[in-house]
Amino acid sequence: MERILKDSRVLVTGGAGFIGSNLVDSFLFSGNTVVCLDNFSTGKKENLKAFSGNTKFKLVEGDIRNYGDCLKGVENIDIVFHQAALGSVPRSIKDPMTTTDVNIGGFVKMLFASIESGVKRFIYAASSSTYGDHPDLPKVEDKIGSPLSPYAITKYVDELFADNFATIYGIDVIGLRYFNVFGRRQDPDGAYAAVIPKFMKMLMKHEVPLINGDGSVSRDFTYIDNVIQANHLAAVVKNRAALNQVYNVAHGERTTINQLFFFIRDLATEFDKDILTIEPEYGPARAGDIPHSLASIEKAKKLLYYSPTFNVEEGLKEAVKWYWKNL
C-alpha cells in the first residue's frame, strides 16, 4: 500500500529553506496544491525557482511572527507542514531573544491560525536537541533530559504547546524530531552552516576544514529523502493512536564527526583526486552541543510505518554528487 499524500491543499512554512523546499518539491510531484509561506530570512528564492511556473504552487511572502501572515498562509488549507524556524544552537546562544520570538511565538501563532481556519492536521518539525543531557542511547521519545541551549528549549516548548492545543482545540498534531538532516539544497554558507555542506564546500576549494573538539562527537545523520517519507506518512496516517505524538526521524545509526569527514573526503576524491591529501584541523568544542545522538525509530516504524531508505553513506553519495554539480 502506497502511503503518499495526494490531492490535498497543503501549506509548507519555511518552504524556501532546505527541508521545506524539498517537501514542496515532493508534494507537488505527488499531485498536491502547495502554498509556501516564507520571509526569506534563511530560505532562498532560488530554491523555489523550479516551481514558479507551476499552477499548483503559490508563494506567500510573510513572517510567522505576524498573525495576519499566518492567516493568509492557511487560507483554504487541509494540512500544514510547519518547517519555519531559526535553527542553530550557536545562533540561539548568541541571540536567544530572536530565536525564542520565531521558534515559540511564531509557532504558537501558526498553530492557532491553523485552528481558527479549520486546518485538519498540523505536522511540525521538532528536534533531537530536545533530548538535552539525557544519557541514554538510543534516544527514545518519552525520555528527555534538560535542554542544553536556548534553541533546544524552544523546540521542547513547541511540543508542549502542540500537545496542549491538540487537547484543548481538537486539532490533529504530529511532531517529527529530526536528527541532523542533510542533502540537496542544504546551504554551505554562513556562520551557522551545517557541517556536511560546509565540509564539502571547503574540500572543493582545497581548504582545510575545522572540526570542533576532537571529532568524537557523534550524530544520527539523516538523509533528506527519509525526512520526506516521514512527512508523507504523518500526513496520511489514519490510526488515531498515531496522532498527537512526537516521533524520531532518523536512520538509527551513529557516525562520529571524524568518520563523517573521511566519508565525505573519500567520496569527493572521485571528482578531484587532490582532495585525498587534505586533513582536518581541530579546535575548541562548541558550547551547547550534546555529545552523542542516536535515535530509536521503533515508534515511527510501528505507528507511521516509517522505513528509511538511505543510510548515511548512501545519502552522502547522493549529497556529494549534488554539491559537486551545483556549488
Domain at 86, CATH number = 3.40.50.720
Do 127 and 155 meet the contact criterion of CB atoms below 8 Å apart?
Answer: yes
d(CA 15, CA 284): 34
Residue that has been written with the C-alpha cell 507511521 in this structure: 304
Instruction: Give, for all 327 residues of the chain, the pLDDT tens digit.
Output: 579 999 999 999 999 999 999 999 999 999 999 999 999 999 999 999 999 889 999 999 999 999 999 999 999 999 999 999 998 889 999 999 999 999 999 999 999 999 999 999 999 999 999 999 999 999 999 999 999 999 999 999 999 999 999 999 999 999 999 999 999 999 998 777 789 999 999 999 999 999 999 999 999 999 999 999 999 999 999 999 999 999 999 999 999 999 999 999 999 999 999 999 999 999 998 877 778 899 999 999 999 999 999 999 999 999 999 999 987
Q: Which residues of 30-42 are buried (b: 16+ CB within 10 A; e: fewer)?
A: eebbbbbbbbeeb
Q: Does residue 207 lie in a domain region? A: no
Helix (H) or strand (E) holding 256: strand 255-256
Q: What is the model's pTM?
A: 0.95
In a domain, 281, yes or no: no
How many separate domains does the chain show? Answer: 1
Known catalytic membership, residue 151 = yes
pLDDT of residue 1: 57
Residue 163 within a domain:
yes
Residue 288 in any domain: the answer is no
Position 88 in a domain: yes
Q: Report pLDDT for 15.
A: 98
Catalytic residue among 124, 131, 151, 306: 151
Geometric angle at alpha carbon 134, from 132 and 136, rounded to 5°: 135
Residue 141 falls inside a structural domain: yes
Check residue 286 and give its pLDDT.
81
Query: Can you give the pLDDT at residue 190?
Result: 74
The reply to whether 29 falls in a domain is: yes
Whole-number pLDDT of residue 125: 98
Q: Which domain holds residue 92?
A: 9-183+222-252
The pLDDT of residue 288 is 75
Position 4 in a domain:
no
Sign of CA dihedral 171, 177, 182, 188: positive
